[in-house]
Structure 1
Amino acid sequence: MQRSITLRPTRHAALCLALGGLSALAQAEPVSQDFVALTLRTTSDQAQASGFLDGQRLSGSTRNWYAHEHATRGPLWSYSKRDGSRHPTSSRDNWVQGTLLNYTSGFTEGTVGLSTEVALYNAVALQRGRASVAGPNNRTLTHSDGEVLDQWSKVGLANLKARVSNTTLTAGRQSIDTPVIAYIGNRALPSSFQGVSLHSAEFDNLSFDLGTFDRVSMRTEQGQSKFRSEYGDSRQFTDRVSMAGVNYQPLQSLSTSLYVSKVEDLWNQYYFGANHLLGDNAVLGLNTGLNYYKTRDAGQSKLGAIDNDTFSLSLALTHQAHTVSVAYQQVNGNEYFDYLHDTNAIFLANSLLSDFNGPNEKSLQIGYVLNMAPFGVPGLKFNLYNARGWGIDGTHYKGGGYDVKNLDGEHHDEWGIGTSYAVQGGAFKDTTVRATYTTHRASKLQGDGSLNEVRVVTTIPFNIL
């Protein structure tokens, strides 16, 4: 199954990039392993509310997003000519300027505070050639015939918030980041979701999340759509996604998360995650991460039977500027480990250019990050990694929702090298520039194909009010 390949440079999804930040956290002493008692917060966010207008902010960012892909073993994409005929191509270029403008009011004063948030999104296609873009895809917005939209806009966020103490209820189009439903921001513009959510942080080291959503506003679409899976039959949609979760820090060095989601008539999913810090990064620090998902079909089981257990275990050693990491990931199930389309709800260590999530797949990643701050260049980092997946086997799959029955012993390899720089001060403070080069080599039927990709992304934040 050929899909649109995405890079996920979040702290959960790209281990080698994420752990690079640890070396910047060099402690003067080892991380404490002390137990953290469960205590109520002594301060209230709502008690400190400054008022609807006094607390308002108007800010935003503009992102220049460019990617060039080249398939090394035959065409992976196709494009439409104006006569309607489709033609294969071995390369595609997507270049988009995305800008978002976000207005957030302050919370009104009183026991119950009210606030609102509105964000306008705009995208301008800088590469507009049909053959170059090879649309439709999730990188540049095109018409169904592949004609590129020169520019487009939408309301990306629009919600109302009500807050009591340290608990906030949000209703409307919003951004949320949990292991079972999470916005994805690796294009010119991010995705968002329509629904209601509750976040409660009444304890110092314990918080709760609840939410229910019925639409996704995709990264490269103007409207909203029902949710569907990333890897399953794209004709099967769900009317509602609901989730609940808890985040708990029992030790100063240990944080844990437990989440459950119900994707109506597709699946129920359960997640457990833990992250532990040990030692002193100035001498030698160890970061250990565990992520585990259990997925079972539910309701009408529109994707057929699902019986999947997937986990990743990562270890990263940091000494001053240097971080070396290793991550093992395993899928136990005859279908893909799956998650919701146009979300980043895959908090697994080996989700890179490829997700390494094929049926019964095992994968190993080794990475290295160099933080140049100790050498007098704060904000500059370099990283490289290699990931290998093997044992992909869907021959025992009995359902009809996943195209995996021909996968028998498939394997693939991925190499990546990149650099990023964050401006430390001045008018362009917090501007980031990231450049990556990735190669992926796959056996004949592995879904991601063999390709090289160059990506350059520049993000400039700004404040108006």
Structure 2
Amino acid sequence: MLKTRISLLALGLMAATQAMANDQAASKGFVEDSSASLLLRNAYIKRDKKHDNNDQMQWGQGFIAKYNSGFTQGTVGVGVDAFGLYGVRLDGGSGHNDAPGIDFFQRGETSKNSPHDISRGGAAVKFRVSNTVLKYGDQMPSLPVLQHDDARLLPESFTGTSINSKEIEGLELNAGRFTREARKSGEDRDTALKSINVFGGSYKFLPNLTASLYTSDVEDVLKKHYLGVNYVHAIAKDQSLTLDFNGYKSDIDKEYVQKAKLTGDSNTIWSLAATYAFGPHSVTVAHQRSTGSTGYQYGWYQDKGGVGDGGSTIYLANSYWSDFNAEDERSWQIGYGLDFGAFGVPGLTYSVAYVRGDNINTHGFGEGTEREIFNQFKYVVQEGPAKDLSLKVRSSFLRTSDSVRENGYNDDGNELRIFVEYPISIF
């Protein structure tokens, strides 16, 4: 059914009156428009738990190489995208890698040891007509209902078919069907994903108003629908107010409810954030609410009991270390950001946020609460031989009520992340 819809969508868009410049007509060629890059990523994450001995720590060096060809000239352009990933474990053996939260290097099922290095590659062939691109192969989708995880050492990837169309000015449409997911911490591409179908798009109604609507169907797991609205109001030359709404509605298959031992088969979760920016400062206030018979489900891998729709498929305001996505949870955030460029240090930024969640349904253990303090410094070198090299230091302090810990939803802990990244443009 979705394959038919994708085909009809592609044909309709290709035949539509074009309201934008024709990208394919401007193609310079397969080689002439090609690019290659290498990202060096040194990543460290440490999590200290307060009520058990299951502390976690991983440190690794990653190499993320990407090649994107141009398109051949003519009515139908043909091209290739490819990537190669390599990660080296610098520290964090079997004694520190006993949980999925960090997941730099997958532990062996029997040995419980982490590999010293991992590597993986992938490629996709692409076709372009006008401003519509059809791609088949290994990809890293970035959609609200299918967002690959790139917040660890190496990124996830999915194998399948996707269509991206920008035929009408301000309108972007996406559709796809993916049948395989590659874990970010291993070399095995088979994580038991049967299929995930995605469809939706975004439209810029005004220069400062954009809305997105997406839906997905993860076979034998759940159906998910997403709505996002972003509005930016300019108050003065250096002042603005941004309103950002994100919401998901999930209908979960009965079989998956039993398999994952969930408390129910439905969830609706949404967040609304308001950010007031003035000069180098920004202040954010956000509210997030989860309702339904279970918490919001996303990510992880189906062979481990997860959903399989990408480890970053949570476009919500209060998602830091904790996602504040438990059953019936309500959470509030107050945040602050500072750009030190106004004080003579361009490239240096700081952000801090406090989030508190309550009303968590712990099913017999009493009302659950949790709170988190998040801090992050980031510095990007602005010029010289190390231009674009970035250093990001992030910490979180998470505290939960006894009822939340007894229920098994979350636990107290302190987290530290240090990421050093250096992007190199090869050509």
Whether 1:245 aligns to 2:200 is yes
Q: Is the 8 A contact 2:242 2:275 kept in 1?
A: yes
Percentage of pairs with the same residue: 30
Q: Secondary structure at the match of 1:352?
A: coil
Output one character per residue of 1:190-213: Cα deviation in whole Å (capped at 9) or x when no partner: 111111000000111111000111
Q: Is the 8 A contact 1:335 1:394 kept in 2?
A: no
Q: CA deviation at 1:281?
A: 6.2
Aligned to 1:366: 334
Aligned to 1:203: 168
Aligned to 1:151: 117
Q: CA deviation at 1:74?
A: 3.0
Aligned to 1:329: 288
Q: Secondary structure at the match of 2:324?
A: coil
The AA in structure 2 aligned to 1:297 is I
Whether 1:455 aligns to 2:421 is no
Q: Is the 8 A contact 2:378 2:392 kept in 1?
A: yes
Residue 281 and residue 134 in structure 1: after superposition, are their counterparts in 2 closer, same or farther (change >3 A)? farther
Q: Secondary structure at the match of 1:242?
A: strand
Give matches, 1:369-380, under 5 Å.
369-380=337-348
C-alpha separation in 2, matches of 1:407 and 1:311? 25
Aligned to 1:400: none
Aligned to 2:43: 65
Output one character per residue of 1:86-145: Cα deviation in whole Å (capped at 9) or x when no partner: xxxxx3321011111112211100000011011110000000443244467613333222
C-alpha separation in 2, matches of 1:191 and 1:430? 24
C-alpha separation in 1, matches of 2:330 and 2:57? 31
Q: Is the 8 A contact 2:56 2:99 kept in 1?
A: no
Aligned to 2:386: 428
The AA in structure 2 aligned to 1:322 is H
Aligned to 1:311: 270
Output one character per residue of 1:400-440: Cα deviation in whole Å (capped at 9) or x when no partner: xxxxxx56411111001110011222332222110012110
Report which stretch shifted further, 262-271 or 346-355.
262-271
2:323 aligns with one of 355, 367, 371: 355
The AA in structure 2 aligned to 1:143 is G
Q: Secondary structure at the match of 1:302?
A: helix
The AA in structure 2 aligned to 1:65 is A
> TM-score when scaled to structure 1?
0.81
Aligned to 1:117: 81
Q: Is the 8 A contact 2:320 2:374 kept in 1?
A: no
Q: Is the 8 A contact 1:206 1:247 kept in 2?
A: yes
Q: Is the 8 A contact 1:255 1:276 kept in 2?
A: yes
Q: Secondary structure at the match of 1:309?
A: strand
Q: Secondary structure at the match of 1:428?
A: coil
C-alpha separation in 1, matches of 2:116 and 2:49? 26
Give matches, 1:24-173, under 5 Å.
40-75=18-53, 77=54, 91-134=55-98, 138-144=103-109, 145-155=111-121, 157-173=122-138
> TM-score when scaled to structure 2?
0.87
Aligned to 1:212: 177
Query: RMSD of the TM alignment (CA)?
Result: 1.9
Q: CA deviation at 1:357?
A: 0.4
Q: Relative contact order: is structure 1 or structure 2 higher (C-alpha 8 Å, sep ≥ 6)?
A: 1
The AA in structure 2 aligned to 1:248 is Y
C-alpha separation in 2, matches of 1:411 and 1:442? 6
The AA in structure 2 aligned to 1:429 is K
Aligned to 1:192: 157
C-alpha separation in 1, matches of 2:352 and 2:366? 30
Q: Secondary structure at the match of 1:388?
A: strand
2:357 aligns with one of 369, 375, 389: 389
Residue 44 and residue 392 in structure 1: after superposition, are their counterparts in 2 closer, same or farther (change >3 A)? same
Q: Is the 8 A contact 2:180 2:193 kept in 1?
A: no
Q: CA deviation at 1:238?
A: 4.9
Q: CA deviation at 1:387?
A: 0.5
C-alpha separation in 2, matches of 1:306 and 1:361? 16
Structure 2 unmatched ranges of 5 or more: 1-16, 259-263, 301-309
Whether 1:175 aligns to 2:140 is yes
Counting matched residue pairs gives 392
Q: Is the 8 A contact 2:41 2:422 kept in 1?
A: yes
Q: Is the 8 A contact 1:392 1:407 kept in 2?
A: no
C-alpha separation in 2, matches of 1:297 and 1:74? 32
Output one character per residue of 1:165-212: Cα deviation in whole Å (capped at 9) or x when no partner: 100001011011111001111111111111100000011111100011
C-alpha separation in 2, matches of 1:285 and 1:361? 30
